[in-house]
Each structure stands twice: as C-alpha cells, then as structure tokens.
Amino acid sequence: MENPLLQTRFNFPGQTHFYQGKVRDVYTIDSQFLVMIASDRISAFDVVLPKAIPYKGQVLNQIAGYFLDATADIVPNWKLASPDPVVTIGRLCKPFHVEMIVRAYLSGSAWRTYKNGERRICGVQVPDGLREHQKLPQPIITPTTKAAEGHDEDISREEILKQGIVSEADYVGLEDYSRKLFAKGTEMAAKQGLILVDTKYEFGKVGDEILLIDEIHTPDSSRYFMADEYAERFEKGAVQKQLSKEFVREWLMENGFQGLEGQQMPEMTADFVAQVSTRYIELFELVTGQKFVPAPQENPTTRIEKSVLQFLKSNL
C-alpha cells in the first residue's frame, strides 16, 4: 500500500537544528553531520502542492546519490552514506550563497529573457537569431543568488565578485567544477539517449575545501530532452519532450495556477497523483538506466528512524 512521506519530526541524538525545506527535512547532528530526508512533497512556482507523490523522495534521493558517487573523482562532495532509500547523511558545510546554473541550450527562463530582447543573460553575451531550445555555441554559466526564502535572483559573475558574495579564487574554482560536472553529466545522459539541457549545482566549504552539496542531475534540478527526438522536434518548431518536473508546472498553468496572489490551487485527483508518481519512476529508470525498486511503504518513519540511528550509533 502506498503511504507517501509528507513530513518527519524526529529528535535524533546530538540533534542541534531542524529545517524543513519545500521538499526535504534536514537535521543537523552534533554540528558535523546533516541528515537530509527527501519527503514525497512536491513544489512548483515556489509553492508546496497539497498532496504528496508516492516514491518521489526515493527517486530524487537515489538519482542524486547515483550522480554524487559518479562524480566524486571530479569534486569531493558532502555525501557520507545513504542508509535508507530516502536518506542521505553527509558533512555539514558552509554553503556558498550562489547557485551555479549551467546551460547548453536556450530553454526555460533563459529563453524567456532572450525572447524579451535581452542578449546578455547573467552577464553572458548570447548571439542574435537563436530559437527556443537551440543549442548554444558552448555551455554558459548563469548564476543566481541563493535566497533563504522566496525566489532566487539572477546575478552576473561581475556582481558576485563586486559584492564579495564569493571570493574570486573560490568563484574560479566553482566555475571549473561546474563545467567539469556538466561535461560528465552530458556524457552520462548521452549513454541513456538523453540530452542534459541545463542544471544547477550548489557548493559549500569545510575549512578551505570546496565540496559539492545538495542534489545533482535530478529531474527537480535539471532539464533533459530525448536525444532521438530533439532534432526533428526542433526543426518543426515543436515542443520538446522534457524529462523534468516541467510537466507538473504545465498542468498547473493549464488549470490557471502559477503561484500568483488570488489564484486557486487546482484539485490534485488521485489519478493525477498516480500519474506524477509513475512519471517520476520512469524518470529514474531513464536517467540512471537502473530498475527502480520501491522502498517498503509500511511505517516509513519507523524504517527511516531506525536506519539513521544505526548510522549515528556507529559514527558519533
């Protein structure tokens, strides 16, 4: 029986802080570990939707873990263990207050900016005459500020350095890591018949060491196209089939909701929730090339608590 995980409220040994994000519940342990639990909550337009999506948390957590492990030779990351399908435990880092967004195609918010006549996106010059979803001459980095609440804001490299948000030496390192990670992600996507269109990376520091943190190359943080359909759809000016949670945003927009004041959240029927769950599972299998194995759904909080306590007992 499906029993989606809406939220958790644990009190672990050595727990010093708890934070509930839009999707994840994050516990700080002994000022050195983060226990990050991927719930089945889903958000769009900076709003958490009223119903949880079965297995969504497991999908995101396991895709992120798959890519963190695959890129650890490029940049060290925060992950130490994943003792449960929805849990990652890692090192507590001091995060940089920027997100590094890498784009290889003119899609999403970059296209909307370009369509409005702008030819400099986050300080990066983009040529005239491009169409939506067109491949850029080379991948570009379009950073945003990392907001504690509300919307992240576009910002240029120059402004980041001018405002002292990140030191120049560190920013050069973040750019280098981001390009290398994107190249690896592009290579891995191609093996699955996918195009990695754009994605975001977050980094933090432990002492003087830069670490990759949070999730990586998941459908919530990345956009993928189907490689075998891309060229034909682009030539025809047709909509690209996207492997991301864009389909949820599209459903909301079709039903008159974009998170704006006064708008009514449409009803999430059981059928729609089941469709979204199935879509996330398909995304997992397409992106990783692995068969999805659902975690036991009976008493998920008991299962999670037991697995985390076992890790902490061995490592505290």
Residues 218, 126: one domain? yes
The answer to whether position 150 is within a domain reads yes
- pLDDT band, residue 63 (cuts 50/70/90): very high
Q: What is the mean pLDDT of the chain?
A: 93
The answer to whether position 207 is within a domain reads yes
Burial 24-62 (b: 16+ CB within 10 A, else e): bbebbbeeebbbbbbbbbbebeebebebbbbbbbbbbbb
CATH code for position 45: 3.30.200.20
Residues 196, 288: one domain? no
In total, the chain counts a number of residues equal to 316
Residues 73, 125: one domain? no
pTM comes to: 0.91
- pLDDT tens digits for 198-236? 999 999 999 999 999 999 999 889 999 999 999 999 999
The answer to whether position 142 is within a domain reads yes
One-letter amino acid for residue 62 of the chain: Q
| Predicted local confidence at residue 149, as pLDDT | 55
Residues 27, 129: one domain? no
Residues 122, 195: one domain? yes
One-letter amino acid for residue 287 of the chain: V
The answer to whether position 154 is within a domain reads yes
Comparing CA positions, the residue from 91, 121, 94, 93 lying closest to residue 108 is: 121
How many distinct structural domains can be found in the chain?
A: 2
One-letter amino acid for residue 207 of the chain: G
Residues 184, 57: one domain? no
Count Cβ atoms within 10 A of the Cβ of residue 99 and give its class: 0-12 exposed, 13-18 middle, 19 or more buried: buried
Count Cβ atoms within 10 A of the Cβ of residue 89 and give its class: 0-12 exposed, 13-18 middle, 19 or more buried: buried
- pLDDT band, residue 45 (cuts 50/70/90): confident
- pLDDT band, residue 298 (cuts 50/70/90): confident
Dihedral (Cα; 265, 271, 273, 277), 10-degree rounding: -150
Please state, in angstroms and rounded to a whole number, the distance separating the CA atoms of residues 13 and 303: 17
CB pairs under 8 A, 24+ apart, for 89-92? 89/33, 89/34, 89/35, 89/36, 89/308, 89/311, 90/33, 90/34, 90/36, 90/213, 91/32, 91/33, 91/34, 91/206, 91/211, 92/28, 92/31, 92/32, 92/33, 92/34, 92/206
Please give the share of the chain, as a percent, with pLDDT higher than 90. 85
User: Where do we find the tokens 């759809």?
Assistant: 233
Please state, in angstroms and rounded to a whole number, the distance separating the CA atoms of residues 154 and 20: 24
Residues 239, 309: one domain? no
- Is the model more confident about 219 or about 291? 291
Please give the share of the chain, as a percent, with pLDDT higher than 70. 98
Residues 118, 202: one domain? yes
Comparing CA positions, the residue from 197, 230, 236 lying closest to residue 102 is: 197
Residues 195, 144: one domain? yes
The answer to whether position 5 is within a domain reads no
* Rg of the chain, C-alpha, whole Å: 20
Task: Tell how many helices (H) and how many strands (E) occur in the chain.
Answer: 8, 17
The answer to whether position 228 is within a domain reads yes
The mean pLDDT of 47-76, rounded to a whole number, is: 96
- Is the model more confident about 22 or about 147? 22
Q: Is residue 176 within 8 Å of residue 81, measured between CB atoms? A: no
Residues 114, 190: one domain? yes
Domain range for 182:
95-243
